[in-house]
A and B are shown apart, each in its own frame.
Chain A
């Protein structure tokens, strides 16, 4: 967007200043009624990256290698493949029968689920360093084994958390890729997870994506704060976010179907 061809005529590009006010693709110029070639291909590159992020297969081994030393479990949703995952959100929210068996309950304060969601690329890039930053901020918490979940939506964490007997579940998940960012990580926190929880009962951090989005340390500070508050107040969701200064914007933007 910014490396636009020189404007015809003798005046400087009048869009230069305006472009600083918005990330929108303004002042692209014209080739007849169509786009100049550079703008056309720039859009295609952004869309291609977003598509690749959606369809890149989740590699739980790669994430596990980054989390060496932590106890882990692997699970799969009921969606066997990407096309099914995209068309059947109900299957992405439930554990495959053979996955459920490996989750044994314990006296856990919290469980973490790393889920591919709509961008495995985001999870590969950001999930492990973000989780390590969070764990550093939770001394004294009794934590369940880390769950790595394939073809998973946010609500899969409800069943995982319920089976583990965890008081809280935090689902670290790849967000739907946009044209400007294909590797944006989100994190959804749910008190007393059980199948059937509504999105309004969760709190969300989004756009965890250094260096352009939220840094790991800041996101981890926010999540640790939310987890401590959730444990004290025994709730998450709308009731919690309204009392969290400085968290309102992320929390509101994040509530929605996932």
Chain B
């Protein structure tokens, strides 16, 4: 039982998860679950109680029972008490102030990550303003590598997301080539296949790998299909770089995705066995998003932001190259409008980075959410200031397969120019070698007659080189 008395009113919270839920900035998903604070005052009362809570409480009281949930067991069994030591005696409120102080520099935050649990970082995020989330995330550094290096200071990587409603190879190739002309694709060329059919996925793997090898592009590819399909593709000799999986923060929600921690381990070992990586051995790509556990009725009464942070504990156990929170995809019953989507994107990025996870964000919305491209511009800019590792690049921001709007190749140009951010170094060198960068290091606008452009797109009669 936790409680705060404000004037004549006593606000009480029966347990830790109720306290966390009540302290959370308002979002529709927590209201749908019936766990949101009943008033604005109650919300702040919960934050006051949370601020006084010792951090070590989260090592003693699990929000999802240890016996019932392998994610809780992973979190508590892998907790590093030595790394935790610098903040072990702090309350949540003191932890916030320390995070904002100069003592919490990049080295200190990197060393601390294994000592933090997702519930600790979710708790502190609930008493932080958006600017706090940005200021602290900026100081973190999570660097990963496969064929290039992602997450270095002053860099922002971009996934090319060349989805097609029927996986048409020419259509997919056209969207990839379009993205390359904007300097995108250093995070990954990652396709959401329309069909989960194994042979269809293998055909897409071959398509992307052919393009990569033809132009000697230092990047990696991924077909975003179920981990079991990826393992089967590896067994059939497919050229697979990264194993993908959607993950969530409870065992039951992961069961809804058809996975266990053991299965993720098996997928990672299969990818490593191919030895296709050159610069580093991060071979996993995970996607997450607030609300997924609730939509699977697998949230155990825990608020959606705390459950989301637990998904990052799952991710970090498998040393991923990329973790992407698909923040506005799930719909208005979980995140109603631009304000809620913005807040959630900043929370997810902050929590993931503090836990040592290489966070990217799919800055996105659906047509039934109260949001538009102006909201996406705002969130994209905030996340780039916060040091997000990567974003999506979708032709014209319009994903014609999944039916939602994300960030575009143009948005990537904008944010790299606005903040002086550059691609992954190996990829940047490749762009330079292709004659695609101007003297200022920015991606040139290439006329159709330009040699670099013609190398990528083929002869002017339209014969496509790639497909």
Q: A232 at interface (Cβ–Cβ under 8 A)? A: no
CA distance A87 to B398 in the complex (A): 24
Q: Are B367 and A47 in contact (CB under 8 A)?
A: yes
Q: Are A22 and B448 in contact (CB under 8 A)?
A: no
Contacts of A17 in B (CB 8 A): 462, 464
Q: B333 at interface (Cβ–Cβ under 8 A)? A: yes
Known: A33-B413, A86-B332. A24 touches B395 (CB 8 A): yes
CA distance A19 to B395 in the complex (A): 12
| Shortest Cβ gap from A3 to chain B (Å) | 14
| Shortest Cβ gap from B332 to chain A (Å) | 4
Q: Could you tell me which residues of chain B, from 414 to 467, have a CB within 8 Å of some CB in chain A?
A: 414, 417, 445, 447-450, 453-454, 457-458, 460, 462, 464
Contacts of A1 in B (CB 8 A): 396
Q: Are B449 and A9 in contact (CB under 8 A)?
A: yes
Q: Could you tell me which residues of chain A, from 89 to 119, have a CB within 8 Å of some CB in chain B?
A: 89-90, 118
Q: Are B410 and A178 in contact (CB under 8 A)?
A: no
**Contact residue among A14, A24, A44 (Cβ-Cβ distance under 8 Å from B175):** A24
Q: Could you tell me which residues of chain A, from 169 to 191, have a CB within 8 Å of some CB in chain B?
A: 176-180
Q: A200 at interface (Cβ–Cβ under 8 A)? A: no
Q: A212 at interface (Cβ–Cβ under 8 A)? A: no
* Total contacting residues, chain A, CB less than 8 A: 47
Q: Are A26 and B178 in contact (CB under 8 A)?
A: yes
Q: Are B32 and A7 in contact (CB under 8 A)?
A: no
Contacts of A35 in B (CB 8 A): 396, 408, 410
CA distance A127 to B448 in the complex (A): 47
Q: Are A8 and B368 in contact (CB under 8 A)?
A: no
Q: B397 at interface (Cβ–Cβ under 8 A)? A: yes
**Contact residue among A7, A23, A176 (Cβ-Cβ distance under 8 Å from B366):** A176
A-B CB contacts (within 8 Å), total count: 140
CA distance A51 to B367 in the complex (A): 6
Known: A13-B448, A22-B164. A86 touches B464 (CB 8 A): no
Q: Could you tell me which residues of chain B, from 137 to 177, have a CB within 8 Å of some CB in chain A?
A: 162-165, 168, 170-175, 177
Contacts of B460 in A (CB 8 A): 11-12, 14
Q: A88 at interface (Cβ–Cβ under 8 A)? A: yes
| Shortest Cβ gap from B211 to chain A (Å) | 14
Per-position binary interface string of chain A over residues 39-73, scored 1 when its CB falls under 8 Å from any chain B CB and 0 otherwise: 10001101100110110000000000000000000
Per-position binary interface string of chain B over residues 197-220, scored 1 when its CB falls under 8 Å from any chain A CB and 0 otherwise: 000000000000000000000000
Q: Are B178 and A176 in contact (CB under 8 A)?
A: no
CA distance A8 to B164 in the complex (A): 28
Contacts of B368 in A (CB 8 A): 54, 86, 118, 176-177
Q: Are A26 and B174 in contact (CB under 8 A)?
A: yes
Contacts of B445 in A (CB 8 A): 30
**Contact residue among B367, B372, B398 (Cβ-Cβ distance under 8 Å from A176):** B367
| Shortest Cβ gap from A37 to chain B (Å) | 13
Q: Are B32 and A33 in contact (CB under 8 A)?
A: no
CA distance A117 to B11 in the complex (A): 39
CA distance A39 to B373 in the complex (A): 13
Contacts of A25 in B (CB 8 A): 395-398, 408
CA distance A128 to B225 in the complex (A): 39
Contacts of B414 in A (CB 8 A): 33-34
Q: A28 at interface (Cβ–Cβ under 8 A)? A: yes
Q: B295 at interface (Cβ–Cβ under 8 A)? A: yes
What are 18 A-to-B residue pairs whose CB atoms are below 8 Å?
A7-B447, A17-B462, A18-B174, A18-B462, A18-B464, A22-B164, A25-B397, A26-B178, A26-B396, A28-B410, A33-B410, A33-B417, A39-B396, A54-B367, A88-B32, A89-B333, A176-B366, A257-B295
12 more A-B residue pairs beyond the given contacts A22-B171, A24-B163, A89-B32, with a C-beta to C-beta distance below 8 A: A8-B447, A8-B448, A10-B449, A14-B448, A21-B168, A22-B168, A23-B400, A28-B396, A33-B410, A51-B367, A176-B368, A177-B367
Q: Which 7 A-B pairs have the closest CB atoms?
A: A25-B396, A17-B462, A22-B171, A21-B170, A18-B174, A9-B447, A33-B413
